[in-house]
Amino acid sequence: MPTLHRIFFSTAFACGALLSVSAAHADRTVTDQLGRQVTLPDHVSRVVVLQHQTLNLLVQLNAQDDIVGVLSSWKKQLGPQFARFMPKITTLPMPGDLTQANIESLLALHPQVVFVANYAPEQMIQQIQNAGIPVVAVSLRDDAASEKNKMNPTMANEEQAYDNGLKQGIRLIGEVVDRKTEAETLIRYTFSAREKANAPVADIAQAKKVRVYMANPDLNTYGSGKYTGLMMEHAGALNVAAATVKGARQVSLEQVLQWNPDVIFVQDRYPEVVKEIETDPHWQSINAVKHHRVWLMPEYAKAWGYPMPEALALGELWMAKKLYPDRYDNVDVDAQAQDFYQRFYRVNWTSDAR
């Protein structure tokens, strides 16, 4: 009997150990923002990121050490100053970009997952998957099925699509890299700060809102269906392009002259656009130029077509205070930026960070 007992115990122990090993390497399934079921290893620690929004969020979730490769246009998309949040990014391999990937370079990095944009070409996603690498697509939007892979989708409710989509995207990324707690903390902070920031300008009548234009390079701008329009709306502004432009696209100078905005905002990543507007004779008749109200936004504003936590928590506040300073007399935007940067980027923020 003792011998049988020992055999039974040894067998049970071996089975238990085998189950433990299997559990440690067990697969799991997540649903990405294209609605695709993606099978991943139980623990992910090697990530390639071919979308700048996801790269930005991974750093905020303190998962930068898991990143082994990034998109080639990260400097253009995020600005060169992004490297101070993630110093190793300047030496990381760049095996692809938003709409293309080098499969051989990807395989050399042995990634456990590749993050891509929702509008990455289907062929690109399929090539990566065929190489045996799971692909997770991120849109930061909650879209109807027929709109999920579009850069300029049609939305029944923009506010709901972006609010829900940002939360879903942060949770998805957090789930993939085992940062669920950090994801929930970021979501709570972002939407609580936004609610406080929006309150002072929530009662401004449509007819009294400051008329604003977002100037991107080469006369590109954001119209309806992009987060930037919501950013302006929350800041008490009227996006002059919203009525005639859908999504992000190029417009004519004649159209901008006709809109005649009172304020022109320029994203932090395009400082050269401010100089071009202020020195080009063709722009001088526009109210914003005549009254020296062409403003370069701070890096945290991130007035992209897609939302970012700092844009909601800080960018909308900065924009509202620039437009309606009397309503924000006692609000220290720099102090709030410092708090956000220390919490989520683990660095000090300064207004002369550029």
The average pLDDT across 308-326 equals 97
Residue 25: its pLDDT value, please?
53
d(CA 316, CA 274): 20
Helix, coil or strand: residue 352: coil
Helix H or strand E encompassing 92: none
Note the pLDDT of residue 193: 97
pLDDT band, very low/low/confident/very high, at 349 (cuts 50, 70, 90)? confident
Q: Is 319 helix (H, G, I), strand (E, B) or coil?
A: helix
Residue 232 C-beta-side C-alpha neighbours within 13 Å: 27
Q: List, for residues 250-287, the tens digit of each pLDDT value.
A: 999 999 999 999 999 999 889 999 999 999 999 999 99
202-345 matches 27-178 in CATH topology: yes
User: How many Cβ atoms sit within 10 Å of the Cβ of residue 207?
Assistant: 6
- Give the burial class of 324: count Cβ atoms within 10 A of its Cβ; 0-12 exposed, 13-18 middle, 19 or more buried: middle
The verdict on domain 202-345 having CATH code 3.40.190.10 is no
Residue 4 clears pLDDT 80, i.e. is over it:
no
Strand 248-250 relative to strand 220-222, pairing: antiparallel
pLDDT tens figures, 202-246: 999 999 999 999 999 999 999 998 999 999 999 999 999 999 999
Integer Cα distance of 198 and 88 in angstroms: 36
Q: Is 212 helix (H, G, I), strand (E, B) or coil?
A: strand
Q: Is the pLDDT of residue 353 over 70?
A: no
Q: 350 falls in which pLDDT band (50, 70, 90)? A: confident
**Sign of the torsion angle spanned by Cα atoms 334, 263, 313, 118:** negative
**36 close to 172: Cβ distance less than 8 angstroms:** no
| Residue 92 burial class via C-beta count within 10 angstroms: exposed 0-12, middle 13-18, buried 19 and up | middle
Cβ proximity of 277 and 221 under 8 Å = no
Q: Which two tokens stand for residue 132?
A: 């045996």
**352 band by pLDDT with thresholds 50, 70 and 90:** low
pLDDT for the residue 351: 65
Mean pLDDT within 138-156: 92
Residues 6+ apart with CB under 8 A from 301: 231, 267, 268, 310, 311, 314, 315, 318, 319
Of residues 24 and 76, which shows the higher confidence score? 76
Tokens of 281: 């004779």
Q: From residue 159, how far is each of 106, 190, 228 by CA, in Å?
A: 36, 15, 11
For the chain, the maximum distance between any two Cα atoms, rounded to a whole number of angstroms, is 100
How high is the mean pLDDT of the chain? 91
Strand-pairing partners, residue 249, are 221
Percentage of the chain surpassing pLDDT 70? 92
Q: Is the pLDDT of residue 23 over 80?
A: no
- Over residues 183-214, the pLDDT tens digits come to 999 999 999 999 999 999 999 999 999 999 99
* Interatomic CA distance for residues 75 and 62, integer angstroms: 20
DSSP-assigned beta bridge partners for residue 29? 39
How far, in Å, CA of 343 to CA of 352, rounded? Answer: 19
Predicted TM-score (pTM) of this structure: 0.87
Domain map (residue ranges) of the chain: 27-178, 202-345
Pick the CATH number of 27-178 from 3.40.50.1980, 3.40.50.300, 3.40.50.2300, 3.40.50.150: 3.40.50.1980
| Residue 9 near residue 2 (C-beta atoms within 8 A) | no
Triad 302, 306, 312: Cα angle to 5°: 55
